[in-house]
Amino acid sequence: MRRERLTSAYVIRDATALQALYGPVDARSIDKEIDYLHPHYAAFVRAAPLCILATMGTGGLDASPRDDPAGFVEIGDDKTFSCPIAAATTALTACATS
């Protein structure tokens, strides 16, 4: 399969360019952004068998899936949750980009 190279006409580099394509953000979308883990979302997280661990640093971005039976993600409070990292090499990979 041939991969075509994207030209700059197809690259969105900032929020202004994105808004030019889609229009302004609806107020309802902004209103549902919160900076804590709502109890409804916490129930969803507790029931999920998958999470994505993402780290970002000077080396770039790393995102890798973590899966286990539902409940493996532990919720500390409404701003803190954690998931186990099984292998040391996986932890090193995640930290390498931090």
Query: Is 90 a residue whose pLDDT tops 90?
Result: no
CA distance 81 to 53: 11
Query: Is 10 a residue whose pLDDT tops 70?
Result: yes
Query: Is 88 a residue whose pLDDT tops 50?
Result: no
Query: Is 6 a residue whose pLDDT tops 80?
Result: no
Side chain identity at residue 67, one-letter code: D
pLDDT at 91: 57
